[in-house]
């Protein structure tokens, strides 16, 4: 794959109610999707994708690094306005710190499903996980990530 890439990330979070159920309609209304330019490189058999997000609040930029190891692990590091480090590995739970301009909290990711498809000109990742804040499950989340050479367009 070329060094200059496009990164498409689509996220969906289902807030958990007190009874542990989710509201599917509410989740569809909160769906987030971005397409941003990025950089790609392969080092020691691991895929690295770097990209920036401009915060909707106008507070600044967050730099993101995705590190993809084989077909079993994705690490997502954010630095800037928001700072976090999340690890996704099927069947495993990871806890880390999440810093915002409003304070810091502990978050956990309990990965239920992880699919990584790495092709010559495309990387596709799907993650389904439970998001925890301060040791309490708060949302069921899904993220789809696609990485293609910058001169390619994503299908509609």
- Output the domain CATH number for residue 117: 2.40.128.20
Classify residue 155: in a domain, yes or no. Answer: no
Classify residue 98: in a domain, yes or no. Answer: yes
Classify residue 156: in a domain, yes or no. Answer: no
Overall domain count for the chain? 1
At residue 42, the pLDDT reads 94
Q: How far apart are CA 149 and CA 3, in angstroms?
A: 8
Classify residue 15: in a domain, yes or no. Answer: yes
Q: How far apart are CA 79 and CA 81, in angstroms?
A: 7
Classify residue 154: in a domain, yes or no. Answer: no
Q: How far apart are CA 97 and CA 81, in angstroms?
A: 14
At residue 125, the pLDDT reads 97
At residue 27, the pLDDT reads 47
> Please, what are the averages of pLDDT over each run of 10 residues along the chain (156 residues)?
90 70 51 92 95 79 95 95 93 92 91 95 95 88 94 72
At residue 86, the pLDDT reads 95
At residue 21, the pLDDT reads 52
Evaluate whether 34 touches 43 at the Cβ level (below 8 Å): no
Backbone phi, psi, residue 27, to 5°:
-65, -45
At residue 19, the pLDDT reads 46
Classify residue 119: in a domain, yes or no. Answer: yes
Q: What SS3 state is found at 51?
A: strand
Classify residue 49: in a domain, yes or no. Answer: yes
Classify residue 56: in a domain, yes or no. Answer: yes
At residue 2, the pLDDT reads 76
143: left (phi over 0), alpha (psi -120 to 50) or beta: beta
At residue 11, the pLDDT reads 92
Parent domain of 129 = 4-149
Evaluate whether 77 touches 64 at the Cβ level (below 8 Å): yes
């Amino acid at each position: 794959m070329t060094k200059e890439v496009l990164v498409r990330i689509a996220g969906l979070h289902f807030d958990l109610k007190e009874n542990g159920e989710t509201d599917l309609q509410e989740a569809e209304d909160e769906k987030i999707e971005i397409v941003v330019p990025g950089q790609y490189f392969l080092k020691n058999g691991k895929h690295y994708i770097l990209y920036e997000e401009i915060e909707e609040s106008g507070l600044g930029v967050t730099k993101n690094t995705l590190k993809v190891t084989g077909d079993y692990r994705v690490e997502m590091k954010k630095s800037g306005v928001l700072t976090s480090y999340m690890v996704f590995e099927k069947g495993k739970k990871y806890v880390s710190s999440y810093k915002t301009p409003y304070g810091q909290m502990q978050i956990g990711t309990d990965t239920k499903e992880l699919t990584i498809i790495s092709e010559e000109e495309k990387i596709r990742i799907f993650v389904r996980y439970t998001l925890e804040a301060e040791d309490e499950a708060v949302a069921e989340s899904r993220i789809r990530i696609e990485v293609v050479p910058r001169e390619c367009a994503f299908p509609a």
